[in-house]
Homo-oligomer: A and B are copies of this chain.
Amino acid sequence: MSKEEKVIPYKIYLEESEMPKAWYNVRADMKNKPAPLVNPATKKPVTEADLAPVFCDELIKQELDNDTRFIEIPEEIRNFYKMYRPSPLVRAYCLEKKLGTPAKIYYKFEGNNTSGSHKLNSAIAQAYYAKNQGLVGVTTETGAGQWGTALSMACAYLGIDCKVYMVKCSYEQKPFRREVMRTYGASVTPSPSMETEVGKKMLAEFPGTTGSLGCAISEAVEKAVTTPGYRYVLGSVLNQVLLHQSVIGLEAKAALDKYGVKPDLIIGCAGGGSNLGGLISPFMGEKLRGEKDYEFIAVEPASCPSFTRGVYAYDFCDTGKICPLAKMYTLGSGFIPSAIHAGGLRYHGMSPVLSQLYHDGFMKAVAIKQTEVFAAAETFARTEGILPAPESSHAIKVAIDEALKCKETGEEKTILFGLTGTGYFDMYAYEKFHNGVMEDYVPSDEELAKSMSALPDVE
């Protein structure tokens, strides 16, 4: 519990001069490093040369670097950050009052940019290194569209091309997201498409398919490796992404330090792990170094429960099985949450860094049903004024639960959670919730056993 001597404002903004100048690489402080990516052909750890056709050179270095604690943020990226960062660290006075809790609740709000989420933090970095390498452009996939939007913005700013493969059902159901990307000059192709061999094969086998994230990844990778001057970029899961997203935690920590506040409990939603990893990294570093103690909770959807019901094993990152293998908590690369799940965080696996930390007992995880998530989202919107993304609302739900526990015990815990983004493009899901027709989906043990039975054979 922290002593607060200064009056804490509703929102703490850092000065430009206080913004981080380097990203923090939590792997440097991990005794047990995350397991290396493995080449699916050789079953050996990937080398820089293995990855060079797919990823940008500098990003490969970052991906494989388990030792360098701080990596400088290039000035051009820092200038871009200044357009939409520092993001506010908000003291949730109104929510505390509404709950009647003695807990002190803070959230780091990453939604005040047009991508609507924290994804922009890594998108600009990846686009920058691509441009710096003299590339013409990048390819990627997007589901709900936040990552695709972020990458489009970054590429527009730097003047490089951006090709986005958007899961077909999202392309059709979320025309607004598509148009935002087009505003930023990106080409957006519904996946599966006739532009790639993977896509053609998929359409031949399943003519009516509405696509999947795994297939879109495979198409984007194929396009990158077969088009001169292009590389593939990814918005979550990878080590490099967590590195870039550490800017969230670094800013949050600097803002709290200014006011002498130390959080007891840090909560983040977890899909692929980009936000959670970024938020907790600098705090986790202190814990790993034995300097300070914090409690960490990863919140995942009950419909895609990789931490709480998955296995810790090597698995494919994409359904096309052309990407390197990663050791992670996974539900199997064939697992796709039911379409009735609207709450996001649909990836079958989890960041290898976070998987290792979870495996080593440095953090907890809980899984939440989506109707509870939307109820928490509504409470939050009405009290704090921000309409949260369903993804972010997983963290809200657990923050509220923890604050209510404090109400019972009288404990004045300081809680920090990550509010990753806004829900402006998720109103179909909110509508279902308002109309009382939102259902919960929890995969059966049999379903998970089946999807986890097809793991690759790697030790």
Contact = CB atoms under 8 A, between A and B. Distances in A.
In this complex, the member of A116, A383, A385 whose beta carbon has the largest number of chain B beta carbons within 10 angstroms is A385
A259 interface: no
A434 interface: yes
B387 A183 contact: yes
A390 to B, nearest CB: 12
Interface stretch (A29-37, A57-65, A353-361, A424-432): A424-432
A382 B185 contact: yes
A10 B83 contact: yes
Contacts of A293: none
Interface string A349-367: 0000000000000000000
A94 interface: yes
A115 to B, nearest CB: 9
A113 B184 CA distance: 22
A9 interface: yes
Interface stretch (A172-180, A224-232, A437-445): A172-180
A381 interface: yes
Which applies to chain A's interface (DSSP): helix, strand, loop or mixed? helix
Given A179-B430, A183-B378, A424-B424, A94 B385 contact: no
Contact of A11 (B9, B82, B116): B82
A50 interface: no
Chain A contact patch, size range:
35 or more
Given A16-B9, A422-B114, A383 B179 contact: no
Contacts of A11: 82
A378 B183 CA distance: 6
Interface in A15-43: 15-16
Given A378-B183, A427-B180, A431-B175, A385 B153 contact: yes
Contacts of A13: 13
A92 to B, nearest CB: 10
Contacts of A113: 385-386
Contacts of A183: 378, 381-382, 387, 430, 434
A180 B429 CA distance: 11
Per CB-CB distance, the 7 closest pairs between chain A and chain B, nearest first, are: A176-B427, A10-B82, A156-B382, A179-B427, A114-B387, A9-B16, A424-B424
12 contacts: A10-B83, A80-B385, A83-B384, A83-B385, A116-B424, A156-B382, A157-B382, A176-B424, A179-B427, A180-B424, A183-B381, A183-B387
